[in-house]
Structure 1
Amino acid sequence: MLNGMILSHNHPSNSPPSPADIYNLRAFNLAEVRAVTKYGVYSVKQPENWKKEFPSREELEKEYNNFVIRLIPKVKRQLENGKITPEQADNFCWKFALRRMERKYGFKINLISW
């Protein structure tokens, strides 16, 4: 039913597309997933070819969280030293983990700024 459709929704936390969004893009063969934030609209389009399949939504989220966990000590030090804000820390973790996943699976996230 969702095959080829565009799914748009808001992300009040201003985060980029989540692992669940990426999973839904693939699982429902959506043309695109959009996440609306205060920064603009994040867009993930269906790639022509996925580099690798992922077995489940839970596995994709687990992989994402494993990427983020490795960053926590570094981000925590920067927060404690006042070099970044909590929102910047979140954005750094999301961006790093999603870039790793982009390379591995073959999708691309774009931000269309306001």
Structure 2
Amino acid sequence: MIFINSNLNELEISLTLLHETAHFLNSDCDKYIANHFQNDIIEFQANQYMISEVMKMLDQKYDFTPDTNYQQIIDSLNLPYHLDGVIIDEFNDIISDKFDVIPSCESDYFYE
């Protein structure tokens, strides 16, 4: 069962559902978390899944090109700053796959 804050907007609800879906798909409920570091990894993996799925949907809707401004995506999603690099990496992967190019911008973010 998933409980979602009713004060969240539509985007926040969608992001939350994707994040929690990742926990389900990864069988995180069955994992024993012995320390904070393990929890951080599980949360990061759920965030990666959420961002990957959102970026695929946004690409289908807006048809990303190498000229697409990923900063607008970052601003629109309004996720915590430490996830910006995940968004950039996912964007670069989509562009690389679609156009068979090497991204001109690699993220320099440290994933927490």
- Normalising by structure 1, what TM-score? 0.40
With normalisation by structure 2, the TM-score equals 0.40
Choose between structure 1 and 2: higher helix proportion. Answer: 2
**Which of the pair is proportionally richer in strand?**
1
Greater relative contact order (Cα 8 A, min sep 6): structure 1 or 2?
1
